């Protein structure tokens, strides 16, 4: 019976197969060179997994961007194609994905990722392969120290923290605060920086507590904070923790001001927090409140157009993550105009970007600045009656 032969033969058969295929492959000659009929730009985004609320809007923006730029004829007649992979919010998968995009798909640059961990896992590959990486994550370590191949579009965590501290000092005029942060990288990094920069604003951190990303009852930590002389509470984390904290605070009857991070800059926070979300203040890009951008300016025009197009295609409002994605596409294609098909020249041209009007803000890069934006692109937003309004910040 044939089956019995397999007992010994399977490995041999498989080997024979591969030898045969190898010979065929060589026989095929060198790799067929395809004509360059479009610019390929890769993307590694977290469209599933915990960071999906970040990755999905980013992907939507890029699809919209691709549509719009190609409708206008592309870049000097050459169309643009985004090839987007999902890293499932996993650093290891992000590294595999960027490898594949660079080596298999031969992309000119890679956008990604949505979260700091995945971005950091991709960076060594970008450096090794000398391909530009433009990320949509805000973690400070990504560009400090500057990695010559990695850029970012969002305002950094540092900028958000500076904004918060300015608000605490100038508007609320407090001198003692408590910090309650998520134990993940975003929360811990933010809390560390807050703590080290606060004294520079004359503010003392009298309590620092943390919670787990999936925790939903922070009354224990809040009870401890209630005992301290803290005049304001800074909460640094992403949904749903901060929403639970808002509810817990209401439950415990705590009335000190709640300052959140840019991690709650989405309508989800209001939805989850309900009435408890009112009064919460957080830093975010001006794009969330278009009226905070001077009317008639190029920036305002860009925001309004993007907002309308996004709403038309997807039926959703834009948020900061959609902006990060769009701007990443913008920065790369803007530099492509000057650089053409050359990945190294592309990086150089990105570094020469000056006052490019995006959605998150106006971008200027340099060999020592791969962040692009600055603090003035941010505002403090207050939630009033379930809607966003600009909080007075001096």
Partner 1 sequence: MEKPRGIAETHSYRTLLIVAAFILILPLWARAIPGDVLHMDIVNIMVLAGIYACAVMGLNLLIGYAGQISLGHSAFFGIGAYTTAILCTRYSWFPTWLGMILGAALSGLIGWLVGKPVLRLKGHYLAIATLGLGEIAFILFSQVKGLTGGTVGILNIPPLSIFGLSFDTDLKFFYLVWAIVLVIMLLTFNLVRSRVGRGLRALHSSEVTADAMGINTGSYKVKVFVWSAVLAGLGGALFAHFQLYINPESFVLTLSILFVTMVVIGGMGNLWGGIVGVVVLAFLPSIIQAFPEWIPGLPESLSNFNNYSLVLYGLLLMIFIIFMPKGIAYGLSRGTVFGKSTAGRLLDRIKAYRSTEK
Partner 2 sequence: MLDTYDKSRKKMLFGSAALLTLVLVVILAVKGSTGLQWIASGLTVGSIYALVAMGFSVIYSSTRVINFAQGEFSMLGGMLMYTFASSAGLPVPLAFIISVVIVSLLGAGFERLAVRRLRDSSVITVIIVTIGFSIFLRAVAKWIWGSEPVKIAAFSGEKPVRFLGAAVVPQSFWVFGFTALAVLLAFLFFNRTLIGKGMRAVAANPDAASLVGVSTSTSSLIAWTVAAALGAAAGIIIAPIRFAAYNVGTMLGLKGFAAAILGGLGSAPGAVVGGLTLGVLETITAGVFPSGYKDALAFLILILVLLAWPQGLLGRRQDVMT
Which SS3 state, helix, strand or coil, does residue 145 take? coil
Residue whose CB is less far from partner 1, 247 or 370: 370
29, two tokens: 């000659």
C-alpha span between 21 and 55 (Å, rounded)? 39
The answer to whether residue 386 forms part of the interface with partner 2 (CB under 8 A) is no
**Which span sits near partner 2 by CB under 8 A: 61-69, 120-128, 242-250, 304-312?**
242-250
Question: How would you write 1-56 as a 3-class SS string?
Answer: CHHHHHHHHHHHHHHHHHHHHHHHHHHCCCCCCCCCCEEEEEEEECCCCCCHHHHH
Residue whose CB is less far from partner 1, 97 or 280: 97
Q: In what order do the strands lie in the sheet with 176-182?
A: 204-211, 176-182, 232-236, 258-259, 281-285, 378-384, 387-390
Q: How far is the CB of 187 from partner 2 (least distance, A)?
A: 10
Q: How far is the CB of 195 from partner 2 (least distance, A)?
A: 14
Binders of partner 2 in range 110-149 (CB under 8 A): none
One character per residue 112-141, x = contact with partner 1 (rule: CB under 8 A): ----xx--xx-xx---x----------x-x
Residue whose CB is less far from partner 1, 62 or 123: 123
Binding partner of 3, given partner 1, partner 2, none, CB within 5-8 angstroms per partner class? partner 1
The residue from 44, 75, 95, 281 that contacts partner 1 (CB under 8 A) is 95
- 146, 84, 78, 138: which is closest to 109 by C-alpha? 84
Q: Under a CB-based contact definition with an 8 Å cutoff, are residues 171 and 393 in contact?
A: yes
The answer to whether residue 202 forms part of the interface with partner 2 (CB under 8 A) is no
Q: How far is the CB of 193 from partner 2 (least distance, A)?
A: 18
Binders of partner 2 in range 262-301 (CB under 8 A): 268, 271-272, 274-275
20, two tokens: 């045969």
* Rg, C-alpha atoms of the chain: 24
197, two tokens: 């920069």
**Which span sits near partner 1 by CB under 8 A: 22-30, 201-209, 261-269, 289-297?**
22-30
Angle between helices 320-339 and 298-314 (to 10 degrees): 110
Binding partner of 70, given partner 1, partner 2, none, CB within 5-8 angstroms per partner class? none
C-alpha span between 53 and 50 (Å, rounded)? 8
Distance of CA 54 to the CA centre of its chain: 7
Residue whose CB is less far from partner 1, 86 or 327: 86
Angle between helices 320-339 and 52-71 (to 10 degrees): 40
Mind giving me the DSSP string for 143-212?
TSSPPTTEEE-SPPHHHHHHHHHHIIIIII--SEEEEEEESSHHHHHHHHHHHHHGGGGT-EEEEEEEE-
One character per residue 86-105, x = contact with partner 2 (rule: CB under 8 A): --------------------
C-alpha span between 134 and 151 (Å, rounded)? 5
C-alpha span between 333 and 325 (Å, rounded)? 13
Count residues contacting partner 2 (CB under 8 A)?
34
Binding partner of 247, given partner 1, partner 2, none, CB within 5-8 angstroms per partner class? partner 2
The residue from 42, 43, 80, 86 that contacts partner 1 (CB under 8 A) is 86
Residues 6+ apart with CB under 8 A from 65: 82, 325, 326, 329, 330, 333
Q: Under a CB-based contact definition with an 8 Å cutoff, are residues 296 and 116 in contact?
A: no
Binders of partner 1 in range 147-206 (CB under 8 A): 183-185, 187-189
9, two tokens: 């033969």
**Which span sits near partner 2 by CB under 8 A: 34-42, 105-113, 235-243, 352-360?**
235-243
Q: How far is the CB of 112 from partner 2 (least distance, A)?
A: 18
Residue 170: DSSP 8-state: I
Binding partner of 252, given partner 1, partner 2, none, CB within 5-8 angstroms per partner class? partner 2
C-alpha span between 380 and 360 (Å, rounded)? 14
Q: How far is the CB of 240 from partner 2 (least distance, A)?
A: 4
- Name the site residues for partner 2 (rule: CB under 8 A): 48-50, 52-53, 183, 209-212, 214-217, 219-221, 223-224, 227, 239-240, 243-244, 247, 250-253, 268, 271-272, 274-275
- Name the site residues for partner 1 (rule: CB under 8 A): 3-4, 6-8, 10-12, 14-15, 18-19, 21-22, 25-26, 28, 31-32, 34, 47-48, 86, 88, 90-92, 95-96, 99-100, 103-106, 116-117, 120-121, 123-124, 128, 139, 141, 183-185, 187-189
């Amino acid at each position: 019976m044939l089956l019995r032969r397999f007992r010994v033969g399977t490995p041999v058969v498989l080997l024979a197969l591969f030898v045969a295929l190898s010979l065929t492959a060589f026989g095929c000659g060198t790799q067929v060179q395809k004509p360059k009929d479009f610019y390929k730009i890769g993307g590694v985004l977290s469209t599933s997994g915990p960071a999906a609320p970040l990755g999905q809007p980013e992907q939507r923006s890029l699809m919209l961007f691709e549509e719009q730029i190609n409708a206008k004829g592309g870049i000097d007649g050459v169309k643009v194609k985004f090839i987007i992979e999902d890293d499932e919010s996993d650093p290891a998968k992000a590294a595999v994905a960027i490898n594949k995009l660079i080596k298999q798909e031969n992309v000119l640059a890679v956008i990604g990722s949505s979260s700091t961990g995945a971005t950091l896992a991709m960076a060594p590959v970008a450096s090794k392969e000398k391909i530009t990486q433009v990320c949509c994550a805000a973690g400070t370590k990504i560009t400090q120290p500057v990695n010559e191949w990695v850029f970012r579009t969002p305002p950094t965590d540092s900028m958000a923290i500076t904004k918060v501290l300015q608000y605490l000092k100038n508007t609320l005029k407090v001198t003692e605060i408590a910090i309650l942060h998520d134990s993940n990288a975003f929360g811990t990094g933010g809390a560390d920086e807050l703590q080290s920069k606060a004294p520079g604003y004359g503010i003392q951190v009298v309590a620092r507590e943390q919670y787990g990303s999936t925790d939903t009852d922070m009354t224990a930590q809040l009870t401890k904070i209630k005992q301290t002389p803290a005049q304001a509470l800074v909460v640094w984390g992403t949904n749903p923790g901060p929403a639970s904290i808002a509810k817990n605070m209401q439950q415990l009857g705590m009335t000190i001001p709640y300052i959140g991070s840019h991690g709650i800059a989405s309508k989800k926070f209001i939805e989850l927090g309900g009435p408890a979300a009112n009064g919460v203040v957080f830093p975010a890009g001006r794009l969330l409140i278009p009226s905070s951008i001077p009317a008639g300016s190029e920036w305002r025009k860009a925001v309004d157009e993007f907002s309308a197009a996004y709403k038309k295609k997807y039926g959703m409002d834009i948020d900061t993550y959609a902006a990060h994605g769009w701007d990443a596409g913008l920065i790369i294609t803007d530099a492509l105009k000057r650089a053409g098909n050359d990945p190294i020249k592309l990086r150089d041209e990105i570094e020469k970007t000056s006052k490019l009007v995006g959605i998150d803000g106006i971008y200027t890069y340099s060999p020592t600045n791969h962040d692009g934006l600055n603090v003035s692109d941010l505002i403090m937003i207050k939630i009033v009656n379930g809607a966003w309004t600009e909080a007075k910040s001096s």
